[in-house]
Amino acid sequence: EPEEKKIALELLETEQAYVNRLHLLDQIFYTELMKEAKNGKTVPEEVVKMIFSNISSIYQFHAKFFLPELQKRMEDWSCNPRIGDVIQKLAPFLKMYGEYVKNFDKAVELITVWSEKSPPFQELIADIQKRKVCANLTLQHHMLEPVQRIPRYELLLKDYVRKLPPESPDRDDAEKALEMIFMVAKHSNAAIAEMERLQNLWVVYQRLGLEDDIVDPSNELIKEGPIHKISTRHNSTSEKYLFLFNNMLLYCVPRVIQVGAEFQVHLRIDVDGMKVRELNDTQFPHTFLVSGKQRTLELQARSGEEMNAWIKAFQDAIDRKEKRSETFKTAVHGLEMGTPALKTEELGRRAPQWVRDNLVTMCMRCKEPFNAIMRRRHHCRACGYVVCARCSDYKAELQYDGNRLNRVCQECYVFLTGHVVLEDREGKHKGILEKGAAEVSGKSLLCGSLQLLDKNGKGGTRGWFVIPQDDPLVLYIYAAPQDVRAHTSIPLLGYQVRDLPQGDSRCLFQLVQSRQVYTFVADTEELKQRWMKAMARSAAGIT
């Protein structure tokens, strides 16, 4: 048989084995652990959900879509010898692996912790692992399979493309499919890298004693290491330790008694406004100067190579910070959904349209939720956004108000005054839930208000629900239509949509998958039908 067909058959055989492994994870481990959790015998239900993440969606996709498509194509191989188009069609759905991969280490940790806390939980897992279907392998071993699957696809497809004859009708499709799988692998690898970054950051924070003003998951550690500080008064050096982040330098000293923390932070210098340069000092070779708003330091490295590495790290951090600061000039973006923002050149010259308080549940700048006591709502008088006190603790002259000083948000303050503030939160990467409701709703398959009932079906929360055009297999839930971050997302692939009778005059319908059930209330029967149709298409993988 042709070499390419052998590889295609290997892909099919490994896919069949993989679906069996997913069935074990979802239909046996997850289902049985969830059943016991609901009976209150082992662990909280939320723990089981966190352990298995979105494994149900992954299983449904492979069992109902990917494997059947491959089987059908291999049956027709004699008249249609190609698989590139099948993989090309289904590859975008593999991005759902990012969530599972990112959660993997946390899941393994939860299994370990709760096995110690709850003997019934440990016994149930051990009982399942003894069954023939587990092949004497642990739950953790089986859970590793989805993490390794995407790289496996990439290797098989590379081999397939390499073995294809030049005149093969599948060459173009196979090469495009390989490129798409490469992008999915990159997406998955990015999730792993982000997880490792946060773990490494947490280790650094523990070494520093978990000081509140430096613990921020958006920080990025650029370089750390020992250094000598030159004292101009005593003409001597003393050993210090530096942690250089993307937004600050921590100038530390090792603790004599290392209980709880390895270092004590003596000084924090913001990268914003920082300068660095080499010094020509004959008495102290390999020295350089770090000048910041809070302090200027003369530092000595152990070699010229080490000095150059520090200077490069500092300069890279400074350049990145300056580049981000430039984006402040265009920081005031318009919201869709009837909330037009002022053009940049109009900022401060004319009164803005204020975003209504009841459309927002969190600060439109830092995304922290509002509450009645600690974090109250304020309006920026320049752009009209609803922001918290911390993000609007600035005043600027506004031309439309006779050049009087008014409360403005940080971004507008920077633009209107030209001053650079000591702290900013603009470099923060947007997570999957941090797409603005208004932005996503403007480009959605369907959006609107629904009520999501609790498990008892008696009460629930009302929110703004969106199925985006660029992510059509996911339902995003926002607390309000102008929020800048979704609080929940539901992968729709593999769910069943059920109509419920109007027993109590409410327009009810459900999303059901295995033992997971979501019950919704629409405002009208027409809206209910529209939502059911949209969700059913997404659940079936129709985009």
Q: What is the pLDDT of residues 276-293, one digit of tens each?
A: 999 887 788 999 988 887
pLDDT tens readout for residues 329-373: 443 344 334 344 455 667 887 777 777 777 788 888 887 788 765
pLDDT attached to residue 211: 63
Q: What pLDDT shows up at residue 299?
A: 92
Pick 345-427's CATH classification: 3.30.300.30, 3.30.40.10, 3.40.50.300, 3.40.50.970: 3.30.40.10
pTM above 0.75, yes or no: no
In CATH terms, the fold of domain 221-328 is: PH-domain like (2.30.29)
In angstroms, what is the C-alpha Rg of the chain? Answer: 28
pLDDT of residue 327: 47
Q: Distance of CA 236 to CAs 161, 281, 296, 303, 517, Å?
A: 65, 13, 16, 17, 69
Q: What is residue 55's predicted lDDT score, i.e. its pLDDT? A: 93
Paired tokens of 491:
């992968």
Per-residue pLDDT, 490: 83
pLDDT attached to residue 343: 58
Q: Which residues of 452-466 are buried (b: 16+ CB within 10 A; e: fewer)?
A: bbeeeeeebeebbbb
Q: Which CATH number fits domain 437-540: 3.90.25.10, 2.30.29.30, 2.60.40.10, 3.10.150.10?
A: 2.30.29.30
The total number of residues shown for the chain amounts to: 543
pLDDT < 70 regions, the chain: 188-192, 194-196, 198-199, 210-218, 232-234, 257-260, 324-345, 372-374, 418-442, 457-458, 502-504, 543
Do 414 and 380 touch, CB atoms closer than 8 A? no
Residues of the chain with CATH 1.20.900.10: 3-187
Q: What is the pLDDT of residue 15?
A: 95
Residues of the chain with CATH 2.30.29.30: 221-328, 437-540
Q: What is the second-level CATH architecture of the domain 3-187?
A: Up-down Bundle (1.20)
For 286-329, the three-class secondary structure string (H helix, E strand, C coil) is: CEEEEECCCCEEEEECCCHHHHHHHHHHHHHHHHHHHHHHHHHH
Every domain range in the chain assigned CATH 3.30.40.10: 345-427
CA distance linking residue 500 with residue 510, whole number of Å? 7
